[in-house]
Amino acid sequence: MNTPEAAEQLQGLRCQNGKCRSVPLELINEEPLVIRIQERPYSVVMRTPGEELAHAAGFCLAEGLLDSSEDLLDLDYCRHLDPNVVDVRLKPERLEKVRDLLERRGFVSQTSCGICGKELLDDLHQIVRPLDRGFELPVDGIFQCLEKLFARQHFYQRTRGTHAALLFDRQLESIAFAEDVGRHNALDKVIGRALLDGSLERAGPVALSSRISFELVQKAARSRLPLLLSKSRPTALAVTMGRGLNMTLACVPEQSELLILCGDERILGLDREAGPGRLSADDPHSMS
């Protein structure tokens, strides 16, 4: 069985004091994990590879499918030894107790081991298309966007328990802001507000308090948002998807440090000491 790596190294630009240089960056990986119950798909979750059987067991316990390990008849990778698919089989007496729960669950449509990895990404690319270059942003604008985001996080200051998203127009004026316990929810809310009030067509960058995952890239691409900015490094899969969709992903891990993972051609005012050219779909790590 070919076990996926938990992290991988991709090339990026590190910019400090106006100077940029090409550097390798270690990024956490995320891949889809298909959890099947009685040979039927129950859920697809994105996770860092590793401990798949434990992940599936804990998930089933939280879902109410298990009360203890005694309820398990079998827990293993699918018969093709795919590390991204786990088969859970319940004992007959436990299956009878949770049958209503299984029937109420909206099963995902995919039914084979082939859903994982590349095929899932190919499916996602059927509903998104690469973005035009279009909008460009001065490098100072990235810092300004994130500063404005953090200044708006009122609930976070009180609770330390929320994520936030701030959507800007192409003049860097705020369009919509949202805080939520879920990072995906926060992005959905600002996109939805812009969609409902008719401002989505003039949207530019979106600043996020959370790490950029592939799902957030997908949401932004569907909304034709060209730039995603955050405090934390994105996942490797988010960068791969961003490059394939001609998007720009950048983060500011330190106050004066900027990391650009893809789409650096949209950022104006970069002074490259030694550059990799463009971090774009032409990069060898981009999706085919």
Distance CA(7)–CA(196), nearest Å, equals: 38
**101 vs 96: CA distance, rounded Å:** 10
CA distance 245 to 281: 7
> Taking every pair of C-alpha atoms in the chain, what is the biggest distance, in angstroms?
67
Write phi, then psi, for 151 (nearest 5 degrees): -70, -25
Contacts of 1 (CB under 8 A, 6+ apart): 77, 81, 82, 83
Determine the 3-state secondary structure of 89 from DSSP: strand
Give, as one character, the DSSP assignment of residue 214.
H
Do 83 and 72 form a contact (C-beta atoms < 8 A)?
no
- Tell me the catalytic residues: 113
Question: What SS3 class is residue 258?
Answer: strand
**Closest C-alpha to 170, from 149, 201, 143, 195:** 201
Helix (H) or strand (E) holding 239: helix 236-244
Helix (H, G, I), strand (E, B) or coil at 233: coil
Residues in the chain: 288
Residues 201/187, Cβ–Cβ less than 8 Å? no
